Amino acid sequence: MARGKILWQVPLGTTRDQAPLPSGIKLGMPNTGGPLLLENGLVFIGAALDNYLRAFDLDNGEELWRGRLPAGGQATPMTYQAGGRQSIVIAAGGHGNMGSTRGDYLVAFALGEL
C-alpha cells in the first residue's frame, strides 16, 4: 500500500449459477462481501454471484482452491479454531436483489481439508 502499486487482479466469479446453461465462464461477476486474509498468505472470498468460496495466494493471486456452496456466499468469511484445527466458515444465504441462489446455510471447511 505504501507504494500505491496493485500486485494482482483476478476476475472474481463465473457464470455457472447465473446463466441458463451452467457453463462456468470465468469473466468475473458482480459481488458483495469481503475477503478474509490468513497469516499463512491465503485469501478467502465468496462474494461472487456463483456458489463458491475461493482461496487465493496472497502473493500472486493464483486460485488455489474452490469449494462449492449450497447457496450464494455473498458474505465475508470468518475463521475459528476448535480442537487444534482451524476452519473457515461462511454464511451461504444468497442475495435476493442480486439474483443469487437463496438458502439458509452456515458452511465450514477445515483447513486440513482444503
* Three-state secondary structure string covering the chain: CCCCCCCCCCCCCCCCCCCCCCCCCCCCCCECCCCEECCCCEEEECCECCCEEEEEECCCCCEEEEEECCCCCCCCCEEEEECCEEEEEEEECCCCCCCCCCCCEEEEEEHHHC
Report how many domains make up the chain.
Answer: 1
Look at the block and give the residue holding cell 449459477.
17
In a domain, 5, yes or no: no
Averaged over 92-113, what is the pLDDT?
Answer: 82
pLDDT tens, 28-63?
Answer: 666 778 999 999 999 999 988 888 999 999 999 999
Indicate yes or no: pTM above 0.85: no
State the pLDDT at residue 31: 72
State the pLDDT at residue 27: 61
State the pLDDT at residue 26: 65
Give the CA distances from residue 2 to residues 5, 38, 40, in Å, rounded to whole numbers and listed in that order: 8, 21, 21
In a domain, 29, yes or no: no
* CATH code, domain carrying 41: 2.40.10
Query: Residue 74 — pLDDT band, cuts 50, 70, 90?
Result: confident
The percent of residues in the chain predicted with pLDDT above 70, rounded, is 82
